[in-house]
Amino acid sequence: MPPNAHNPTRPLPAFQFTARGVGPGSARESPRIGQHFSRTQRRGVRLREALIHGALLGCSLLSILTTIGIIGVLIFETIAFFREVPLWSFLTDTQWTPLFADKHFGIMVLASATLLTSVIALLVAMPIGLLAAIYLSEYAPDRLRRLLKPMLEVLAGVPTVVYGYFALLFVTPLLKTILPSIAGFNALSAGLVMGVMIIPLVASLSEDALFAVPQSLRDGSYALGASRAQTVTRVIVPAALSGIVASFILAVSRAIGETMIVAIAAGQTPNLTLNPLVPVATMTAYIVQVSLGDVPTGTIEFKTIFAVGMTLFLITFGLNILSHSIVRRFRQKYE
Domain ranges of the chain: 27-82, 87-330
Residues written for the chain: 335
Percentage of residues in the chain having pLDDT higher than 70? 87
pLDDT(283) > 70:
yes
pLDDT(23) > 50:
no
Provide the pLDDT for residue 308.
93
pLDDT tens sequence across 246-269: 889 889 888 998 889 999 999 888
pLDDT(231) > 50:
yes
DSSP 94: S
Instruction: State how far the Cα of 50 lies from the Cα of 129, in Å rounded to an integer.
Output: 45
CB atoms within 10 A of CB 99: 14
pLDDT tens sequence across 157-203: 889 999 999 999 999 999 999 999 898 899 999 999 999 999 999 99
Q: State mean pLDDT over 49-78.
A: 90
Measured CA distances, 332 to 62, 197, 328 (Å)? 34, 30, 9
DSSP 22: E
Which of 303, 300, 265 is closest to 282 using CA atoms? 265
DSSP 96: B
Instruction: State how far the Cα of 330 lies from the Cα of 43, in Å rounded to an integer.
Output: 48
Instruction: State how far the Cα of 206 lies from the Cα of 200, in Å rounded to an integer.
Output: 10
Which of 278, 282, 286, 281 is closest to 186 using CA atoms? 278
Higher pLDDT, 281 or 333: 281
pLDDT-derived band at 47, boundaries 50, 70, 90: confident
Q: Quick one: fold of 87-330?
A: MetI-like fold (1.10.3720)
Q: State mean pLDDT over 7-17.
A: 47
